[in-house]
Amino acid sequence: MTENGQLLLELRNLEKSFGGLRALQGASLEIAQGQTVALVGDNGAGKSTLVKAIAGIQPADSGQIRLRGQDVTISSPKDAGEMGIEVVYQDLALANSLDVAGNIFLGEEPLKVKLGWFSVPDTKQMDAETAETLERLRIRIPDPGRPVANLSGGQRQAVAIGRSIRKGARELLVLDEPTAALGVEEVRKVLGLIGTLKDEGQTMMIVSHDLEHVFMVSDLIAVMRQGRVVATVKTSDVTKTDVVGLIVGDIEGAVA
Amino acid sequence: MSEQTSKMKQGTGLRIPGLEALRDAPFFNVLIAIVVIYVMLTILTGETFNTVNNQITIMRAASVFLILAVGQTLVMSTGGIDISTGSMIGAVGAIIGIGLESGWMPAGLALPAAILLGAALGAFNGFNVTVLGVPPLLATLGTFVAYRGFTQYFMGVNLVTGLPDIITTIGRAYFLGVPVPVWTALVVTFLGWFVLRRTIYGRYIIAIGSNPAAARATRINVRAITASTYIIQGACAGLAALVLMGRLDSASAAMGEGLELHIIAAVVLGGTYLFGGSSTMVGTLLGVYLIGMLENGLIQTGAGFFVQKMILGLLIIGAVALQLHQKKKRPT
């Protein structure tokens, strides 16, 4: 399982309940350095809850998270960020009225004048670093000074990913439905971007409904059902039909 | 005007970048409205509207509104609203007024005390919105009633008059031919503009109003920042209360009644988006002027107080409708 590299993240028996609803019922998962793991499952299988637990937005009620063999507690997005874990959310990633640099640096602006909340950001440095990040990820945005509301879906997704990369997703980058609601050409660009990141050795977890995209970019597929990871399979070992069988429960899971 | 600009661009290749930027500015509508209504009022009133003295009168009357509108612009940037401004003015006026009259408040402390008191009243709004999670409209509707109730309970039918010189100076004096309240309001507006456009605080409130979930996923302390906009609005109300007391040389339980709608109308007319995420301090300045000008002009054309109220109410509806319509065309 760790042939691609060292074990990076281990989730052990994560549980999370919302009132009577048991969203996570002992979910366990391992991700090795440099791997791209796709997290699939039906609606309500617990994918989002698992991501929110890793991101620190809704910490799990019980269970263990280990990062490089160390037990860690992730109780806020800040904790996750400091550990080098960044999450790109499907819809809630960008502030529409701010420009590309404003979004990429949101909450972590370099400062020209330090005055607490009333600090003045160094917009020149922000623009320069933004251009650098976009260049590195081969993202082309003609007019980065405009509010991101004017960008296409794929460009917005790219900005959101660029933001996480710049913030330093040095350990893990989690992408929540990166290709949902995008046009064909846009999807191609986002998948290309994921490929670029993969070549750079970025460890990624991709939550997706689209099995075609999952098969195009992932090394491993983790299948969730009823709050558990019921199977982790090598993408090259299985067919789409197998994965669908695992998702709906026609095939009993076996952790590879 | 927009047709003209595009004709220039295509026809002669002549580009006027300033004009194009102006057309895209969120306060473009209010600017056009000011020009049109200014010309109309000048014609309707004969000679009395378009004079320097009358313009100064408009600005002096509008200064209290402008101070409040700056705070309201910040609150609205986050997607909030504060309709308790008039009642905060009443409450601050009552406490400071009674304090001055009975002698336990030194005159020199009245200004800082008013601002702090206002900030405290605003902090209560901020607490209710961010910690208790009461929707801003209802949280401030609650204090709109409660603060006014407190004022009436505390003051009864008393009218405090004969205020110390320092306070009447704040409300009535002139500096370089321009009333002190106008200077005060302009300084507050500049500070508000600076905070909104040049600081990370301004970015954060816009981000919160534009996409609260995105803001929450960053290191931004969304609760504290949101609450602070209500505190600033309260501090503005405290300052405005003192300016108003100074101008009237009195404080009564009815002070500030009914001005909250003015403020909201001015900010929305100025181009700040009612549901947050997009705001303009220049627009707010223009919005306040537009309403002040309308009021002044309507009085001069003989329209009564009730007609003004009708027009103001309809103006808010119109401004919001126009805003929503334009939002659909061009998402920002």
CA closest to A104 among chain B residues: B218
Evaluate if residue B254 carries a pLDDT over 80.
Answer: yes
- What CATH number corresponds to the domain at position A27? 3.40.50.300
In a domain, B9, yes or no: no
pLDDT at A149: 87
pLDDT at A186: 81
In a domain, B219, yes or no: yes
Of B284, B286, B280, B306, which Cα lies nearest the Cα of B295?
Answer: B306
Evaluate if residue A19 carries a pLDDT over 60.
Answer: yes
- Highest mean pLDDT range out of A105-109, A176-180, B43-47, B84-88? B84-88
Query: Are A57 and B217 in contact (CB < 8 Å)?
Result: yes
In a domain, B11, yes or no: no
Distance from CA of B60 to the nearest CA of A (A): 29
- What CATH number corresponds to the domain at position B209? 1.10.3470
In a domain, A35, yes or no: yes
Amino acid in position A19? G
| CB-based contact, B331 to chain A, within 8 Å | yes
Query: Are A106 and B215 in contact (CB < 8 Å)?
Result: yes
pLDDT at B182: 97
Domain that holds residue B169: 32-322
pLDDT band at residue A28 using 50, 70 and 90 as cut-offs:
very high
Query: Are A97 and B220 in contact (CB < 8 Å)?
Result: no
Evaluate if residue B12 carries a pLDDT over 50.
Answer: no
Over chain A, what is the mean pLDDT? Answer: 87
Residues A118-123, mean pLDDT to the nearest whole number: 94
Query: Are B218 and A57 in contact (CB < 8 Å)?
Result: no
pLDDT at A190: 85
Domain tally for chain A?
Answer: 1
Chain B residues touching A108 at Cβ < 8 A = 218-219
Evaluate if residue B72 carries a pLDDT over 90.
Answer: yes
pLDDT at A150: 84
Residues B83-109, mean pLDDT to the nearest whole number: 94
Cα dihedral sign, B40-B41-B46-B48? negative
In a domain, B27, yes or no: no
Domain tally for chain B?
Answer: 1
Domain that holds residue A236: 7-84+169-248
Which DSSP string do the residues of A23-70 spell out, in sequence order? EEEEEEEEEETT-EEEEEE-TTSSHHHHHHHHHTSS--SEEEEEETTE
- The DSSP secondary-structure symbol of A254 reads -
In a domain, A202, yes or no: yes
Residue keyed to tokens 């709608």 = B261
What's the complex ipTM?
A: 0.80
Cβ-nearest to B219 among A108, A149, A150: A108
pLDDT digits (tens, 9 = 90+) for A31-86: 999 999 999 999 889 998 999 999 888 899 999 999 998 999 998 888 888 899 98
Evaluate if residue B138 carries a pLDDT over 70.
Answer: yes
Report strand pairing: A21-32 vs A7-18: antiparallel
In a domain, A49, yes or no: yes
Q: Which two tokens stand for residue B216?
A: 């929450």
Spatial distance between the Cα atoms of A204 and A38, rounded to a whole number of angstroms: 8
CA closest to A105 among chain B residues: B218
Phi, psi for residue A218 in degrees, rounded to 5: -95, 155
Q: Where are the alpha helices (DSSP H) in A137-234?
A: 153-167, 184-199, 211-217
pLDDT band at residue A2 using 50, 70 and 90 as cut-offs:
very low
| CB-based contact, B199 to chain A, within 8 Å | yes
Q: In residues, how long is chain A?
A: 256
pLDDT digits (tens, 9 = 90+) for B258-277: 899 899 999 999 999 988 99
Distance from CA of A72 to the nearest CA of B (A): 19
pLDDT band at residue A3 using 50, 70 and 90 as cut-offs:
very low
Cβ-nearest to A94 among B198, B211, B332: B211
Spatial distance between the Cα atoms of B139 and A192, rounded to a whole number of angstroms: 48
Query: Are B220 and A117 in contact (CB < 8 Å)?
Result: no
In a domain, B293, yes or no: yes
Largest CA distance in chain A: 61
Of B29, B2, B23, B24, which Cα lies nearest the Cα of B322?
Answer: B29
